[in-house]
Amino acid sequence: SIGGNTFMGTTTLTNSGSRFILFANGQPDVFNDDLIINNTGTDEIYLAHNSVGNQFNGTVTVNHSTDRFVHFNEASTAEATFNGNIIVNSNNGIGIRFGNRGGSGTLSTGLTVSIGTNGFSAGDLLFENFTQVGNTAQSLVLTGTADLEIEDSNWGGDINFTAPRFFTRTTIYEGNANITKTGASLDISFGDNTFDGNTVVTLSSTSAGIRWANNSSDTFNGTTTLVNLGSGEMEMAYNS
């Protein structure tokens, strides 16, 4: 769809077929109420794909259970503003992406991103070029084999992120940061992150570790605490 649509009421978008659905491929869409996205088919869903000025003015809920992605603001020229909370669920498949290829997303002040009642146990949860306005605390707990990837973003509030796999690159964390890795694979992060508040990094995996600043240096401007509860290694400032 080229876009230019305005949805005044609650909207449910379901892909249960074998082809992708693509919105706002040239002109922005505006959702003035809640948006529920269900991806149960065999292809992908693209929202705010290739246009500036997309608005999500209600709560956005994503229910994902297939071996394809749900994408928001993916193309390099894409831009979306979220004026409602974001709720994500993924218990099968390869995940949900905000950004990915240069598009930008903004979460307005006072709002949150959270995991829904179905949980997030499979696939990627990617935030790229994602900006949280304001200092509202954010909490995300991923389980199973899921991974949390954060690139080129800015989180304005305190964050409490737990995931089997965790990667961070070129991101500013303005508040206190509490990050916990629980999975069994070595997670290597590029680096170039800035942590302005106090930071606690916890490794609770029984067999694998973390490696940070593998390509570019990280900056910690507050007290930094490392907690190793597993048998893997915590390699900070690794190669920069």
Tell me, what's the pLDDT at 92? 87
Residues 118-147: pLDDT tens digits? 999 999 999 999 999 999 999 999 999 999
| Residues making up the chain, counted from first to last | 240
Residues 141-199: pLDDT tens digits? 999 999 999 999 999 999 999 999 999 999 999 999 999 999 989 999 999 999 999 99
Token reading at 133? 């306005």
What contacts 61, CB < 8 A, 6 or more positions away? 34, 35, 36, 37, 87, 88, 89, 116
Confidence band, pLDDT 50/70/90 cuts, at residue 100:
confident
Confidence band, pLDDT 50/70/90 cuts, at residue 222:
very high
Tell me, what's the pLDDT at 210? 95
Cα dist from 76 to 21, 50, 151, whole Å: 19, 7, 14
